[in-house]
Amino acid sequence: MDFIIVTGMSGAGKSQAAKALEDIGFYCVDNIPPSMLPAFAELCWRGQSRKLSKVAVVTDVRGGELFEDINSVLDELLSGQIDIKILFLDAADEVLVRRYRETRHKHPLCDLKHISIINAVKKERELLRTVYARADYIIDTSQISSAQLKQRISSLFLGDASQALTIQCMSFGFKYGGLPEANLIFDVRCLPNPFYIDELRPLTGLNEPVRDYVLKFPQTEGYVERMLSLVDYSVPLYCSEGKSQLLIGIGCTGGKHRSVTLTELLYQHLQEKGYRVSVSHRDINKV
């Protein structure tokens, strides 16, 4: 049985994550108090049926005082015989504040004390600090769309969530922000840039002329050789440490040419090695 606990910052996309999990066959329960999780997990495990072979539950600070038991509950769950995985949805503080102001929704911690949204976000982050540290999967939604979040969820959990390691290769543009949840980041802004070639500028690293241009330089060849060597050395180490998710980011200035080319190359390399791997390009469609 796959049993996923979905938690994280309010406004980071937990509801969207739950919908994405439901779309790929998970039985989802929203806003369940932590104290009920052990009994519910046991019920699902002992009464396994086709419908309950994949279960996801959302628990977060909406539970108020009931959420204070989360760490002791996780201790109990993770020491049991059920394979429990924790998915943590996160986003930058300023992004969360902006989302709440745009939607005019009330933050769960903006209670009768009338604390501001920014202070509520900071308070929630502190409450979730230990849960974040225990998470098997972390997705930062600051710079990704709903469709990209659904793609990330599908690539993580569409197969058997109990498999040892899922690797995600993601290109991005530094001009649009970093990739804070990445485990490994390669900065390829040092390589020749197709942006300055008029006929290549409107294309992306998915197009053969751009790939040929980026890969034809000796400095790119040397970079790729060392990048693949480091990845090949590092991945087994992550596996031996019991890592569930490995996110490898490759960034260039705009996230359209160099980073896309090398991300696709890395994706193909890891596929050939037999790893469970997916690829995505965060900023490829941005202007």
Task: Tell me the average pLDDT across 126-133.
Answer: 94
Least confident of 15-29, 155-169, 229-243: 155-169
* pLDDT (tens digit per residue) in 78-119: 888 888 999 999 999 999 999 998 988 888 888 656 788 999
Q: Which two tokens stand for residue 264?
A: 């696709």
| pLDDT value, residue 161 | 47
Residue 66 has pLDDT above 80, yes or no: no
Q: What gap in Å lies between CA 120 and CA 230, rounded to an integer?
A: 41
pLDDT in tens, 197-243: 999 999 999 999 999 999 999 999 999 999 999 999 999 998 877 67
Amino acid 162: pLDDT: 44
Q: Which two tokens stand for residue 19?
A: 């919908």
Which residues are paired to 187 by β-bridges? 251
Q: For the stretch 264-282, what's the b/e string if a residue is b when 16 or more beta carbons lie within 10 angstroms of its beta carbon?
A: bbbbebbeeeebbbbbbbb
Q: How confident is the model at residue 49 (pLDDT cuts 50, 70, 90)?
A: low
Sheet containing 84-90, strands listed edge to edge, beginning at the edge strand earlier in sequence: 27-29, 54-58, 2-8, 84-90, 137-140
Model confidence at 159: pLDDT above 80: no
- H or E element in which residue 185 lies: strand 184-187
pLDDT at 50: 53
Residue 276: closest CA among 251, 239, 230: 239
Q: pTM (2 decimals)?
A: 0.73
